[in-house]
């Protein structure tokens, strides 16, 4: 069994074709993680609907494209589970249940709430659904009891909110009469050695704040084969006092800021119109790179330039080796090479990077049934985990009528 702290969950909103910025930022990271953790990656179609409820057709059109993009980039179905949020309705039920005890102020204070309303002025985001956006995200994460959530900088606040919601949930519903006695009984079930070690580590954490001991105690609990889920939760909670940990607090796994520049030197982003599509056709990619701006001081071929003032130089930073970069420095500052000469190695490298991605995408586009089957399987796996969590949540919230 892979432990819940090893479970990774992340989602992406289907709002258009992915570009090389997504590839170098998010996807390469996911591809690495899928070999290290039990990964769940999903298309956040409900999240897209919170802002694009007036044009749902755009979302539907992007969902399958996005899955194809992921697969083409190298997400492996055997390694990661891929699914679509709205096909796992358990997210929605958990969202509703979390909403019962989440103070309005927590949501109103999330900075993305006001920021996005400002940014997307043309859309009316004074809606109930949009206010709930980060709580829906909390449900996405907590329903899998994910330990790690790979996100960009802007999303860290949402993971932090999730931690607060989890803490409040455990506080409200993790209490049970006789908790201490039950926890002590659970300690004994670990066997002599395990019990002794747990007790020592717990003391080291509670008396001296030894964080390493806490980590070790958690690892010890995860490795236990013989205790029930309920006892495991008690023992997790007992480390901190409190009660059972039914919904563990996730950690953000900050995605390193993408080094990928856009065609104009700003960060690559759809809203700046400076992107290269993940599987854009080679002619178009070549044309975009050949016409992209260079150091404005290099008006004529004979004018020397400054690479640091040129967006092409940023591309060399991503795609070129030291020798090529030295060649650019020398050639640009002495007017020894022209800008088209300078761009050629970048063009070659981008096309080479995209060739296998494009080929894989083509394969999947020719076999839409395969893509659907991959997602169907991901949905099945996701629902199994989600149902287990929800059953427990219903139970402690007094909703399991039988």
Contacts for 219-228 with beta carbons within 8 Å, 24 or more apart? 220/194, 222/3, 222/4, 222/5, 224/190, 224/194, 226/189, 226/190, 226/191, 227/186, 227/189, 227/190
Say how far apart CA 324 and CA 321 lie, in whole Å: 5
Near ligand TRP by CB under 6 A: residue from 90, 140, 233, 295: 140
Q: Choose among ligand SF4, ligand TRP, none what residue 305 binds, the Cβ cut-off being 5 to 8 Å by kind.
A: ligand SF4
Query: Strand 251-254 relative to strand 7-12: parallel, antiparallel, unpaired?
Result: unpaired
Q: Choose among ligand SF4, ligand TRP, none what residue 73 binds, the Cβ cut-off being 5 to 8 Å by kind.
A: none
Q: Choose among ligand SF4, ligand TRP, none what residue 170 binds, the Cβ cut-off being 5 to 8 Å by kind.
A: none
Near ligand TRP by CB under 6 A: residue from 4, 10, 51, 274: 10
Contact track, ligand TRP, 226-265, x by CB under 6 A: ----------------------------------------
Q: Choose among ligand SF4, ligand TRP, none what residue 151 binds, the Cβ cut-off being 5 to 8 Å by kind.
A: ligand TRP
# residues near ligand TRP by CB under 6 A:
13
Q: Taking Cα atoms as reference points, which of 42, 39, 43, 41 lies closest to residue 7?
A: 39
Strands (E), 16-103: 38-43, 80-84
To the nearest 10 degrees (0 to 180), the angle between helices 133-142 and 90-99 is 120
Q: Choose among ligand TRP, ligand SF4, none what residue 145 binds, the Cβ cut-off being 5 to 8 Å by kind.
A: none
Least distance (Å) between residue 401 CB and ligand TRP? 30
Least distance (Å) between residue 331 CB and ligand TRP? 40
| Contact positions vs ligand SF4 (CB under 6 A) | 294-295, 298, 305, 307, 310, 312-313, 328, 332, 337, 339, 342-343
Contact track, ligand TRP, 37-76, x by CB under 6 A: -------x--x-----------------------------
Instruction: Count Cβ atoms below 10 Å from residue 325 Cβ, excluding itself.
Output: 16
Q: Is 268 in the site for ligand TRP (CB under 6 A)?
A: no
Q: Is 13 in the site for ligand TRP (CB under 6 A)?
A: yes
DSSP output for 213-272: HHHHHHHHHHH-SSS-HHHHHHHHHHHHSSS--SSPPPEEEEPPPP--B-TTSSB--GGG
Q: Under DSSP, is residue 15 helix (H, G, I), strand (E, B) or coil?
A: coil
Nearer to ligand TRP, 156 or 335 (CB): 156
Nearer to ligand TRP, 197 or 253 (CB): 253
Nearer to ligand SF4, 200 or 334 (CB): 334
Least distance (Å) between residue 51 CB and ligand TRP? 10
Contact track, ligand TRP, 141-160, x by CB under 6 A: x-------x-x---x-----
Residue 314: which H helix or E strand, with range? helix 311-319
Least distance (Å) between residue 340 CB and ligand SF4? 8
The answer to whether the CB of 219 falls within 8 A of the CB of 184 is no
Say how far apart CA 295 and CA 293 lie, in whole Å: 7
Q: Choose among ligand SF4, ligand TRP, none what residue 22 binds, the Cβ cut-off being 5 to 8 Å by kind.
A: none
* 272: its two tokens: 């700046």
Nearer to ligand TRP, 16 or 311 (CB): 16
* 34: its two tokens: 């899928």
Least distance (Å) between residue 143 CB and ligand TRP? 10
Say how far apart CA 162 and CA 147 lie, in whole Å: 11
Name the maximum alpha-carbon separation found in the chain: 84
Strand order, beta sheet including 251-254: 80-84, 38-43, 7-12, 148-151, 251-254
Q: Is 11 in the site for ligand TRP (CB under 6 A)?
A: yes
Say how far apart CA 348 and CA 154 lie, in whole Å: 33
Say how far apart CA 135 and CA 141 lie, in whole Å: 10
Least distance (Å) between residue 276 CB and ligand SF4? 16
Least distance (Å) between residue 271 CB and ligand TRP? 14
């Amino acid at each position: 069994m892979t432990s819940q702290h090893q479970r990774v969950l992340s989602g992406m909103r289907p709002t258009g074709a992915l570009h090389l910025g997504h590839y170098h930022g998010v996807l390469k990271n996911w591809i690495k993680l899928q070999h290290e953790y039990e990964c769940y990656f999903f298309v956040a179609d409900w999240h897209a609907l919170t802002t694009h409820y007036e044009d749902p057709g755009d979302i539907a059109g992007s969902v399958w494209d996005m899955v194809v993009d992921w697969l083409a980039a190298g997400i492996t179905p055997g390694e990661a589970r891929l699914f679509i949020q709205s096909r796992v309705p358990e997210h929605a039920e958990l969202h509703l249940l979390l909403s019962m005890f989440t103070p309005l102020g927590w949501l109103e204070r999330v900075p993305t709430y006001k920021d996005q309303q400002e940014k997307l002025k043309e859309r009316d985001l004074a809606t109930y659904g949009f206010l709930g956006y980060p709580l829906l995200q909390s449900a996405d994460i907590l329903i899998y009891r994910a330990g790690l959530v790979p996100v960009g900088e802007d999303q860290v606040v949402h993971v932090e909110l999730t931690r607060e919601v989890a803490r409040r949930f455990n506080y409200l519903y993790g209490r049970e009469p006789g908790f201490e006695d039950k926890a002590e009984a659970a300690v004994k079930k670990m066997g002599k050695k395990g019990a002794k070690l747990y007790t020592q580590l717990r003391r080291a954490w509670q008396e001296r704040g030894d964080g390493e001991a806490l980590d070790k105690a958690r690892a010890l609990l995860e490795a236990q084969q013989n205790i029930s889920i309920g006892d495991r939760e008690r023992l997790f909670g007992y480390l901190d006092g409190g009660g059972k940990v039914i919904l563990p607090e996730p950690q953000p796994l900050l995605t390193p800021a993408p080094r990928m520049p856009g065609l104009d030197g700003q960060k690559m982003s759809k809203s700046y119109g400076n992107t290269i599509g993940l599987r854009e056709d080679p002619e178009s990619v070549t044309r975009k790179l050949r016409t992209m701006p260079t150091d404005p001081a290099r008006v004529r071929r004979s004018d020397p330039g400054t690479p640091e003032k040129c967006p092409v130089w940023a591309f060399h930073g991503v795609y070129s080796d030291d020798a090529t970069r030295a060649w650019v420095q020398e050639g640009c500052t002495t007017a020894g090479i022209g800008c088209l000469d300078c761009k050629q190695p970048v063009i070659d490298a981008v096309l080479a990077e995209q060739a296998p991605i494009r080929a894989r995408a083509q394969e999947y586009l020719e076999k839409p049934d395969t893509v659907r089957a991959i997602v169907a399987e991901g949905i099945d796996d996701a629902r199994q985990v989600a149902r287990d969590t929800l059953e427990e949540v219903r139970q402690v919230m007094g909703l399991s009528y039988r």
